[in-house]
Amino acid sequence: MIEVKGLKKSFGDLDILKGIDTTIEKNEKVVIIGPSGSGKSTFLRCLNMLEQPTDGSVIFDGKDLTKASEKELYKVREKMGMVFQHFYLFPHLTIQKNLTLAPTKLKIMSKDEADEKAHQLLQKIGLEQKAHDYPSQLSGGQKQRIAIARSLMMNPEVMLFDEPTSALDPEMVGEVLRLMKQLAEEGMTMVVVTHEMGFAREVGSRVLFMEDGLIMEENEPQEFFSNPESPRLKEFLSKVL
């Protein structure tokens, strides 16, 4: 579904990604772990071209996104949902409007269709009573669940999660991870950058270890966590587990 070839990204003299090659298949749940500054988030943001790669290609549904026109990119992003560490809900809009803004303004749904879908999604995540509240009235965990629902409104083919629980109070991490697990079970293709090793082990179908702008090691979670090969991964796991 997404094919990444020789992906490089530099900011000035700073090389963040030094050549990433990987393929993300449909229904896969790829979890990316690694120390801060290893390029995990940059890699994720290159997948939907929020960062323009310096070199290499990202092929999504047969189209090279690094060569796509701006117009095509926006079309592609409708199909790639993204969830951010800091939620980025729209503070001036109610929860309902946060969900319906993009599909109605892009004329993908009528207002009624969008309202109906928003209602269903809010019910699914257990926040239908918040439909007419504003984001500032919600807890962090609720905000992140709303942000996930907002992405789901577009019926994405793949969801990108950029440290979705890192900004949350510990007691709110669980509710967000549960929702993500539910999505995984429903067959959503997911790419998740996280520090939640439990989630990686339980939900991931493949775990990538990134360090210094490269994928150092990848494996299915059982093997990844019990038999790490590279010394750097061993060291990393000994620190976080």
* Residues within the interface to other proteins (CB under 8 A): 48, 50, 70-71, 74-75, 77-78, 80-82, 84, 86, 88-92, 101-102, 105-106, 134, 136-137, 150-151, 154
Handedness of CA 20, 21, 27, 33 (dihedral sign): negative
Q: Which is nearer to other proteins, 89 or 207 (CB)?
A: 89
Angle at 136 between CA 91 and CA 116, to 5 degrees: 65
Residue whose structure tokens are 């928003």: 118
DSSP 8-class letter at 130: G
* Residues contacting 126, CB < 8 A, separation 6+: 145
Work out how close the CB of 140 gets to other proteins at its nearest, in angstroms, rounded to a whole number.
Answer: 15
Q: Give the length of the chain.
A: 241
Helix (H) or strand (E) holding 72: helix 70-79
Q: Burial level of 183, CB count in 10 A (0-12/13-18/19+)?
A: buried
Q: How far is the CB of 219 from other proteins (least distance, A)?
A: 29
Q: In what order do the strands lie in the sheet with 55-60?
A: 14-24, 2-11, 55-60, 63-64
CB of 42 to other proteins, least distance (A): 13
Nearer to other proteins, 40 or 206 (CB): 40
In the complex, what is the shortest distance from the CB of residue 169 to other proteins, in angstroms, rounded to a whole number?
19
Using the minimum distance from each CB to other proteins, give the nearer residue, 45 or 206: 45
- Looking at the Cβ atoms of 52 and 230, the one nearer to other proteins is 52
Nearer to other proteins by Cβ, of 150 and 206: the residue is 150
Is 33:207 a contact under the CB 8 Å cutoff?
yes
- Residue 198 sits at φ, ψ, to 5 deg, of -60, -45
Q: What's the closest the beta carbon of residue 101 comes to other proteins, in angstroms?
A: 6
**What's the per-residue H, E or C state across 167-222?**
CCCHHHHHHHHHHHHHHHHCCCEEEEECCCHHHHHHHCCEEEEEECCEEEEEECHH
Minimum Å distance from CB 97 to other proteins? 10
Nearer residue to other proteins within complex by CB, 76 or 233: 76
Closer by beta carbon to other proteins, 130 or else 206: 130
Question: Residue 199 CB, nearest distance to other proteins (Å)?
Answer: 21
